[in-house]
Amino acid sequence: MTRKGLGAGALIFMLATQAQASEAPKPGITIKAVTTVNASTPWLNQIALPTTILTGAKGGQGVVIGVVDTGIVANNPEVVGRVSVLSSCAALSFSCSNGVTDDNGHGTAVAAIAAGAYGGATAQMSGVAPGVTIIAEKAMNASGAGAEVDIANGIIKATDAGATVINLSVTYAPTTRIAAAMQYAALKGVVLVYAGGNEGMALLSSGPTSNLAQTPLSQATLSHLILVGSVNNANGKSSFSNTPGTGAVTAAGTTGTVSYQSLWIMAPGENVAAPALTSGPAAFASWSGTSMAAPMVTGAVALLQKTWPILTRNGTAPAVLLASATDLGASGADATYGVGLLNLNRAFSPLGALSAVSPSGATVALGSSSSATVSSGTLGSLQALGAALAKYTVFDGYSRNFSANLSSLIGRPGGSTVSLSSLVYSPVWTNALRLADGGQMQVYRDAFSAQALGPVDPRAYGVFGSAPPPPVNYMAYVTREGVSVAGGYGLASTAFFEDALWGARGRADLRTGGLSALADGGYSASLGVPLSQHLRLAAGWSQTPDQTAPLANHGPGARTARAASLGLAFQGRGPVSIGVKLSTLDETSGLLGAAYGPASALNFGRGGVTYAADVSAVIDLGAGRRLTLEAVQAKTPKRAVTQGLISRVSDLESQGYGLALTLPSVAVRGDRLTLAASRPLHLRSGSVSLAQTEVDEEGYAHARLSDVSLKGGAPETDFTVAYARSMSRTTSFQADLTWRDHPPQTASDVAFRAVIQRRF
């Protein structure tokens, strides 16, 4: 009968059929007195185990670990009160005369390293998981020797007693019997932590176990198995430690193999403080061997299982430790260090791609720009939604829950594309031409292209040409009878529509932002017709750029929109002129100017229509002075959302308003000064149903819906001073200075723009 001993855990010498331990405490270094320095602190720091993790994981409280070894002294101060009554003698080849009590010392030392009591900086030692319950299965005698049948039985008994991770600081020897026991445990979700051995050679390359190198192991066993090597305090391989080498094990039932390198992790294994029973019941000593490295990994598994029960159910705690190790030696898994050094700080941080749970329970990918939503001036900063996302439950690649700040999913607009007051100004070159029939035509072009091509640019008139349109390409035409037509690409359409609606009467530009302001930048057109001496009719249409681009090719700014407006302006014999405008806005991947990709984590649905009514009044105060008042009210019907973290958007109510005073001949005869204040269209009421995920103590996720207001933060307020005057018979000048308070981009900003227009 083949006998196995403490070969994996200590400095040993091998006999043909039996392993004998030579890992007794080294003479002269036994610690018998209480010290003021915790001897475990250096290696606890080496494996990156801060007290925050220890506290958060409650020391692994409630997790049961198995120690298949020489037994345990249950009243040892490091483990007292935490040794399960289900502990037993697993030996079949010898008799346990002292029951489960350790009569060698090795098992108690191993248990203390994995689970020794935490006493702070002045304790003599500390374990990795001081809150766990310990199942001790005595499978080796006082000499540290045991048969394979004893080890196999210890694995089975520890599994049946409820252990979720089993420490095996013994020679790794996957014989048929032991492999069967390992599979039994793995199929019940138990993690098996094996010490790698102290022969200073590649695993299974010599000795009585060398012929076991190709023993097949089941897929379940391989996914629940960790092999542990030893490093010194400088993270160099211990001279005695085995290595994973280039060997591999066949996955049972397949032709594939799994390298030992991918299952191998390193932990401190030199001069590790632990109880030394041979020197007295309360003595400590310095131990060396992969037997000491393995229980550090066992304790780490217990902390992970306590923090995330899903790891126990899925059997993925080994994968987390292997994926989070600090790389040592050659890049990646190598033949000396395997995957590298145990790193609990990394192991307790998110690994892999982050995701969240949608209202329907589907996985929502996070972490890319396509996950974000760019807000708008109308929706504002979305403070309430941002607050709800600030502490949001997300999951890493191993289904572990973390609290993350997802408020960054709400992006602020960086330009004028969704800004109602369009303060990011693109210089425009314009000239006007009086026609023989009494009408007038104006041409608008990008200032830079106009300078490059000279005073006459034929492309400026090619609105319907097949070539891509220039950045700015617009024309406006007004007949002697007052009919106005305007159209082109690249300019905000709102001002042209207002000119079409009011004609020669004119009105101050309040920039309260009707819906057409949320569909600017692409093609647009407007038409104004006098129905009578006192009544004008106007119609307008506009859209955002890139309407024909496939939506799937769009990023976070996937929004496209079209707006249509119809208005009437009436001026009787009195001083008051009234204008009424009805508008619709049809958006795709957008909501009131907010933009998001089709599959964004935070989105408000594929699209929908918004309706608005706008009322304006121009009051003639005499002597050329005018007071302009405007108010706009908009409604967006509720919509369902099928993707992302939101399931429903309620009915939304938005409004905007403003006033302006126009004063003539302020500085010189014929000039005009306008003072204006406005609140552009902004959300007044509305909410979304946001998915919120909670994870219970057993690791099960429960999703619920929470109504979150979309309103939040002060609405944008604009103050404008505009000045216009004629400089000559053919040249005019106009400029404005606008200060915005609480815009979506920043706390406040100021913009100045000026235009010189020539007529010919």
Please give the positions annotated as active site. Answer: 69, 106, 291
Q: Where are the alpha helices (DSSP H) in 225-378?
A: 290-307, 309-314, 317-324, 344-347
Provide the pairing of β-strand 748-759 with 272-275: unpaired
Would you tell me how many other CB atoms lie within 10 Å of the CB of residue 465? 11
CA gap 684, 679 in Å, rounded = 12
CA gap 514, 680 in Å, rounded = 8
Provide the pairing of β-strand 225-231 with 264-268: parallel
Cβ neighbours of residue 245 closer than 8 Å, sequence gap 6 or more: 201, 202, 203, 205, 260, 261, 335
Q: Number of C-alpha atoms within 13 angstroms, CB side, residue 1?
A: 13
Exposure string over 589-615, b if 16+ CB within 10 A, otherwise e: bbbbbbbbbeebbbbbbbbbebebebe
Note whether 751 and 716 are within 8 A (CB). no
CA gap 538, 658 in Å, rounded = 21
Note whether 232 and 270 are within 8 A (CB). yes
Q: How far is CA 623 from CA 28, 619, 665, 667, in A?
A: 108, 12, 10, 15
Note whether 91 and 139 are within 8 A (CB). yes
CA gap 211, 131 in Å, rounded = 40
Note whether 634 and 655 are within 8 A (CB). yes
Note whether 146 and 19 are within 8 A (CB). no
Provide the pairing of β-strand 355-357 with 363-365: antiparallel
Q: Number of C-alpha atoms within 13 angstroms, CB side, residue 737?
A: 3
CA angle 696, 702, 705 (to 5 degrees): 135
DSSP code at position 408: G
